Every structure is written in structure tokens, then in C-alpha cells.
Amino acid sequence: MNSFSIVKNRLGQYIDYQSAWIAALLLGSTVFIINYSHGPIAFIAAGKQAIYTFFIAGFISRLASSLALKGENPFISIGFSTLISGSIAIGLTYTMHSLKGTPEPLYSTIPTLFFAIPGFVFLGVRARGLKPRKL
């Protein structure tokens, strides 16, 4: 086994790669569009968002799935998981954009709010193996 595979497997315990790639592409592109009118700095903001999102969202996604498995009541567990994971994701995203000079930090954080919350609910439902009921 080569070094890359060892690192990938080790990080895979803590990062949900599938969620990380999807979130990085989606949020990086969105931040680019939001900041496009500000010129070349839009590329920097989008790149920061994509790299940051890959690692942080991948980690928080793994956390959300783990938290959703705790407790007996799946709805409380998924709600708690979504609240904790969503708060971390939104707070860190806004802080990163504010500290690093993104021209529109609040507007650049709003997509995280819209994508993260339903995403964490989905991850919780998937982790619990819940299926919709037939009417």
C-alpha cells in the first residue's frame, strides 16, 4: 500500500469524501458567482471556499452522521446532529470570510445556511437507515 492510500484511508475515518467533493464544488462555485462583480478576488474567495469546504464540510459531515446515530429517538438525534453540525458550519464559514477579506462575507455565508441544513438532515437520515413510510 502506497503512502497516498494510507493517508487517504486514515483521513477517510474523519472526512466524508463524497459529501466533501459535492460541498466544495457547490459552495466554491456559488461564492465565485456572488463575488464575481468584485473582479479577480472572486477566484481567491471561491478557491478558499472550495478548499476550506472540502476539509471542514467533510469532517462536519462525518460528525453529523456520527451524532445522528446517538440516542434512541432518531428524530431527536437527527435534529441535534443538524443543529450542532449546522451551527459549526455556518459559524466557521462566516468567520473565515470575515477574517480573510471576502468582499461579501454575509452573502457568501448564506449558501452554507441553505445547503448545510438540509444536507445534514439527509446525512442523519441516511446514517440511521430511515426509509419513508408508504401511505
Most confident of 10-14, 98-102, 124-128: 124-128
Residue 135's pLDDT is 55
Residue 110 in domain:
yes
Residue 9 in domain:
no
Q: To the nearest whole percent, how much of the chain has pLDDT over 90?
A: 33
Distance separating alpha carbons of residues 64 and 127, to the nearest angstrom:
9
Task: Report residue 99 as a C-alpha cell.
Answer: 477574517
Cβ(85)–Cβ(120) below 8 Å: yes
Residue 134 in domain:
no
Region label for 39, one of left (φ > 0), alpha (ψ between -120 and 50) or beta (otherwise): left
Residue 1 in domain:
no
Residue 53 in domain:
yes
Residue 97 in domain:
yes
Residue 27's pLDDT is 84
User: Which residue has 477566484 as its cell numbers?
Assistant: 43
pTM of the shown model = 0.77
Residue 67's pLDDT is 93
More reliable by pLDDT, 112 or 79: 79
Query: What rounded mean pLDDT belongs to the chain?
Result: 86
DSSP letter assigned to residue 101: T
pLDDT band for position 29 (50/70/90)? very high
More reliable by pLDDT, 111 or 24: 24
Phi/psi of residue 123, nearest 5 degrees:
-60, -40
pLDDT at 131 over 80: no
What is the total count of domains within the chain?
1
Range of the domain at 89: 14-128
pLDDT digits (tens, 9 = 90+) for 43-65: 888 898 899 889 988 999 999 99
Q: To the nearest whole percent, how much of the chain has pLDDT over 70?
A: 96
